[in-house]
Structure 1
Amino acid sequence: MSQSKLPSTLKTYSVLPDNRSPLERALELALSEALYSIDHPYPELLDAQKTRKEAIATLGIDRQVPVWDSTDTEQVKRNRSEQAWRNRQLSGTRAGFVKALEQMGFGADVTPWFKKPSELDPYYFQIWVYASDRVLTQEINARIDQLLIEMKSERDSYVMNLARESIASPRIAVAAEIGITMTSQPFVPAGSEANALTHTGIAQHLRIISTSEPARNERL
């Protein structure tokens, strides 16, 4: 950016004292030029979903996101920065635990003590955490523990189970077999032709038989 594009006031106004040197004035103008060459960051700067990638960590620090991990994906960091204040409002609740863990990429199921009074002591809750796309490690376990300690009520205690979740989608296949047998008395050729798919599932069997005495079609 050329100096001519600077606001006219910056060419005449200076924050330096009257005894400034030409070098100091040149540095001041160079810094001003560099600042004015940067695109205006607002209002996207404070929007976790739109801010620049380089600013996400700073935004997370500003909003005091607990248990920040630099190895998380960009989208996980954006989600956690965006929901930081909401998570604090839901601290100590089942919805708060579930939402916070979802933002970290985990599924969760929380059971409070009054749902299982015969198994859990008062103010205890049991939580199952499911990881479907990552290897279970001590670091993951420690991160979840830190998050639960940060969000639970002071009087609450918990039992946590970390499990690897495997999801399979069922598939239904259809196999069709078609055979044609033709006879002409007294000559009866041997053999028939049949084609079938190798999938297991719902099968449809269709066979057409044609004879010359009497001529008829049968569908089985």
Structure 2
Amino acid sequence: MTSTDPIPAVAAPQPARAIRTFHPRRGRMSGRQVAALERLWPVYGLRVADAAPFDPAGLFGRRAPLVVEIGSGMGDATVEMAAADPDRDYLAVEVHTPGIANLLDLLHRRDLANVRIAEGDALDLIDLLPADSLDAVHAFFPDPWPKSRHHKRRLIQPAHVARLRSRLAVGGTLHCATDWAEYAASMRATLDADPGLTNPYDGYAPRPAHRPVTRFERRALAAGRPIADLIYRRR
């Protein structure tokens, strides 16, 4: 990466949060990914630190139901869902630079207009959104932080869920998926306990056809880790 990178290495000052739900990673990028980042970031990207005030209609050029994708990874699932769902807009939030670059390249190849990418902390972005403004929040395979001393870093915990739920419109969905059995049980207990959410499946949801199978999920299944989907609606 060079001094002309579209995503600056030094972030603007932000209010301090004692505990982050993610561990930032840079990683190596292919030449194709570097080119996509340099060419396409100004078209599709924004930094969460620079997003206030946040105007989804201005970002997408239209008013449509909005889905926030927390942790879009390499972008494969985001692209497939957005391509099959053109009447909704998808805002993918990611901190992994190679994943952002790969998603930019996929968007360009598929010529999708209903996806944008935010670089930064998804919870910071959620705080910028108006209450009751989201059609759905997706959190597919967030870091399980398996060690007990790291559980405080998990995305799905009561305080974070309350923030996510507050941005959902009535009837909007919070859809989580994990391949970590202990985290799945913890997610279910946390989501069941939230007074503003209801579970239409009375337990784990059947695997929805609209969630694509990613390479990560295939590896988890090959390793014998079953996948749990949890889909809750705002009351």
Q: Name the TM-score class by shorter chain.
A: under 0.3
Structure having the larger proportion of residues in strand: 1
Q: When the two structures are superposed, what TM-score results if normalisation uses the length of structure 1?
A: 0.27
- Whose radius of gyration is greater, 1 or 2? 1
Larger RCO (alpha carbons 8 Å, 6+ apart): 2
